[in-house]
Structure 1
């Protein structure tokens, strides 16, 4: 796979960029974000699925570390939202939605790995 051939620092930089984009989207004032119309919890699950899947594509040998990082980032963002203002509020249900997105990405990863072994 092409991504496997990228040097590790580049893969880490790409994942850091993905994390920074997601963090910025979660911390900017709510009124500055476009409305997608899916519902907040679904948007959280999709965003954390994408973050985790991106991490798994960039470093497929570390699924637990990537999952732990994604859930930790979700918890940090909820804490920041609760304390920073900007019209955002921390919500433990958002963290549950984030964790669901991470879990679905891990399940998809495990299924792909199992199919590859066959």
Structure 2
């Protein structure tokens, strides 16, 4: 029995909020937790975090403008880099991290748009300013 769409969207939104809090905390901790994926590098963590956030955003807000999702999540990635520039955090600010975030966001939202178009037979959101 499939999950009703409103319940599915609500669950995705709750998971999005939890993932968002986790990603921001991990990004601003002076000494982040050691993860098994540390050997894959910092860019991998950025790509993974923002791909997950983009996936959950697409599932939680299926009618939202793809461009707005890209804009806002990319802004979050840039904001994280600005915060990481605070000397007291002992973190590194790297524009390439923000680029990795934005590329992951664009790829996932693009895939979501193609899947939505394929499922509905139409483009889910044609405007680029809303």
Q: TM-score, normalised by structure 1?
A: 0.83
Q: 1:80 aligns with which of 78, 83, 96?
A: 83
Q: Is the 8 A contact 1:3 1:58 kept in 2?
A: no
Listed as ranges, the matches of 1:47-58 within 5 Å are 47-58=49-60
Q: Is the 8 A contact 2:23 2:49 kept in 1?
A: yes
Q: Say which structure is richer in helix.
A: 1
Shift of 1:117: 3.1
> Which structure 1 residue ranges, 5 or more long, are not aligned?
none
| Structure with larger Rg | 2
Which residue of structure 2 lines up, in the alignment, with residue 116 of structure 1? Answer: 119
When the two structures are aligned, how many residues end up with a matched partner? 118
> Which structure 2 residue ranges, 5 or more long, are not aligned?
122-130
Which residue of structure 1 lines up, in the alignment, with residue 92 of structure 2? Answer: 89
